[in-house]
């Protein structure tokens, strides 16, 4: 089976419980995944996926008509067709993902009946009506429909836990970085303030206040810097001196997150990764719906905070959604300390 979900970080993570369930249901199934090269560290060596097909659509977007792009597309098509996939499932529902899946020429091609981009619907051979509210369960419905449409026996898939790859070089980097900022056995709280939309970002001034409150409670605080845009937000959070910014790649972020005692952030890929890794998470929602996009991974421990005045919207505004800004530091701190106490009791 070929899975198409080229990005982004949180969306790939939302697809993994369905694919992990497929692996448990049919251990001998050969599973491929078409994904952006940037996210290979999420999938390579984790035991869930047998073959990655790297799809550099970000690069293609900048050079759509170049010879190099055309050659890379042709190579990708040959690689996918060489695996002779019986089934392809598009978990993304965009035009580009639908086209990529069609290139594999699998015997069966499943996609959502109501994809994110409606034009993609015409490219699927089998269209699945998903009924679940949460995207993790929707992915399970899609994969289950593909199984039931290809095999005689009916299969029922529930989201399954999965392991993210362990990278020895990233582990060594993380150990050295934590020693550099003098964090030992006492551990740290990781703030992940950035998000894909500005409207999903809790104000940096409130994160900065939270960092100071956590330090007063005796906890060291690190801030995920990520890319250039994320780094700007992280620097604003750390301005008061109560937190240290850590900038790293995806493999390093996985290892850093594994070591965090608590992760606090908005509706973002790093927050979902923390929940998938089983770390205690406080997540702040505003313009998106936690019933659809919450960190509902198997075994996850989390608190979702959302102000009653928040309104759902997908306009991707740059300013913080007003309801999200109304979540107070006291509320976030209380939820975090509660999770830390629970973690201590479990430990």
Q: Quick one: pLDDT at residue 306?
A: 98
Q: How far is 126 from 222, CA to CA, in rounded Å?
A: 46
Model pLDDT, residue 174: 96
Between 74-78, 164-168, 182-186, the lowest mean confidence (pLDDT) is in 182-186
* Cα–Cα distance for residue pair 325/287, rounded to 1 Å: 11
Mean pLDDT of 172-181: 95
For residues 121-130, give the mean pLDDT: 97
Strand order in the sheet with 221-224: 244-246, 221-224, 189-192, 262-266, 281-285, 302-306
CA–CA distance, 250 with 300 (Å, rounded to integer): 20
Tell me: the pLDDT tens digits for 288-328? 999 999 999 999 999 999 999 999 998 788 899 999 999 99
Q: Which of 54, 59, 11, 61 is nearest to 33 (CA)?
A: 54
Please report where in the chains the tokens 């939820």 appear, as a residue. 335
With a cut of 80, say whether residue 8 has pLDDT above it: yes
Which DSSP letter does residue 273 get? H
What is the CATH topology of the domain spanning 168-346?
A: Rossmann fold (3.40.50)
Residue 231 predicted with pLDDT over 90: no
Whole-angstrom CA distances from 157 to 17, 25, 70, 144, 145 are 10, 8, 38, 6, 10
In the structure, what pLDDT confidence band is assigned to residue 153 with cuts at 50, 70 and 90? low
Give percent of the chain with pLDDT exceeding 90: 89
Please tell me the distance from the alpha carbon of residue 266 to that of residue 263, in angstroms, as a whole number: 10
Q: Which among 18, 10, 7, 5 is positioned nearest to 272, based on CA atoms?
A: 10
Which residues contact residue 95 at a Cβ distance below 8 angstroms, ignoring those fewer than 6 apart? 117, 119, 120
How large is the average pLDDT for residues 223-227?
Answer: 86
pLDDT at 185: 80
d(CA 292, CA 305): 14
DSSP labels, 50-80:
SEEEE--HHHHHHSTTSHHHHHHHHHHHHHH
284-295 burial, b if ≥16 CB within 10 A, otherwise e? bbbbbebeebbb
- Sheet with 32-35, strands from edge to edge, namely 51-54, 32-35, 2-4, 87-90, 108-112, 126-128
Q: Tokens at residue 255, please?
A: 């290892």
Average pLDDT over residues 96-122: 97
Closest CA to 222 of 258, 256, 196: 256
- Kindly report, residue by residue over 187-220, the tens digit of the pLDDT: 999 999 999 999 999 999 999 999 999 999 999 9
Q: Do domains 2-150 and 168-346 have the same CATH topology?
A: yes
Going by CATH, does the domain composed of 2-150 fall within 3.40.50.620?
A: no
Q: Is the pLDDT of residue 344 over 90?
A: no
Tokens of residue 21, six digits: 């369930």
Mean pLDDT score across all residues of the chain: 94
Q: Where are the alpha helices (DSSP H) in the chain?
A: 9-25, 40-43, 57-62, 67-82, 95-103, 135-150, 168-180, 204-216, 228-238, 250-259, 269-276, 290-293, 322-325, 329-346
Domain ranges of the chain: 2-150, 168-346
Banded pLDDT at 186 (limits 50, 70, 90):
confident
């Amino acid at each position: 089976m070929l899975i198409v979900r080229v990005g982004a970080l949180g969306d790939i993570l939302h697809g993994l419980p369905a694919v992990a369930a497929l692996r448990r249901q049919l251990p001998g199934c050969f599973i491929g995944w078409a994904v952006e090269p940037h996210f290979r560290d999420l999938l390579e060596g984790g035991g869930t996926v047998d073959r990655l097909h790297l799809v550099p659509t970000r690069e293609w977007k900048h050079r759509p008509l170049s010879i190099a792009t055309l050659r890379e597309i042709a190579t990708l098509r040959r690689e996918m067709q060489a695996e002779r996939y019986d089934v392809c499932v598009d978990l993304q529902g965009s035009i580009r993902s639908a086209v990529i899946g069609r290139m594999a020429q699998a015997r069966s091609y499943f996609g959502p009946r109501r994809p994110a981009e409606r034009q993609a619907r015409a490219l699927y051979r089998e269209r699945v009506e998903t009924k679940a509210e949460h995207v993790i369960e929707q992915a399970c419905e899609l994969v289950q429909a593909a199984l039931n449409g290809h095999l005689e026996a009916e299969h029922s898939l529930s989201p399954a836990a999965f392991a993210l790859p362990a990278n020895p070089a990233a582990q060594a980097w993380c150990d050295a970085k934590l020693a550099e900022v003098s964090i030992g056995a006492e551990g740290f709280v990781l703030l992940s303030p950035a998000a894909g939309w500005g409207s999903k970002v809790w104000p940096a001034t409130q994160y900065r206040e939270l960092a100071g409150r956590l330090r007063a409670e005796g906890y060291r605080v690190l801030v995920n810097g990520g890319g250039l845009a994320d780094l700007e937000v992280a620097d604003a959070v750390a301005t008061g001196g109560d937190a240290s910014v850590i900038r790293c790649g995806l493999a390093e972020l996985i290892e850093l997150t594994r070591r965090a005692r608590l992760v606090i952030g908005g509706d973002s890929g790093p927050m979902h990764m923390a929940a998938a890794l089983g770390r205690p998470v406080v997540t702040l929602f505003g313009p998106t719906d936690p019933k659809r996009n919450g960190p509902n991974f198997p075994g996850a421990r989390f608190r979702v905070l959302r102000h009653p005045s928040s309104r759902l919207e997908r306009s991707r505004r740059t300013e913080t959604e007003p309801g999200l800004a109304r979540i107070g530091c006291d509320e976030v701190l209380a939820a975090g300390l509660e999770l830390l106490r629970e973690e201590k009791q479990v430990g």
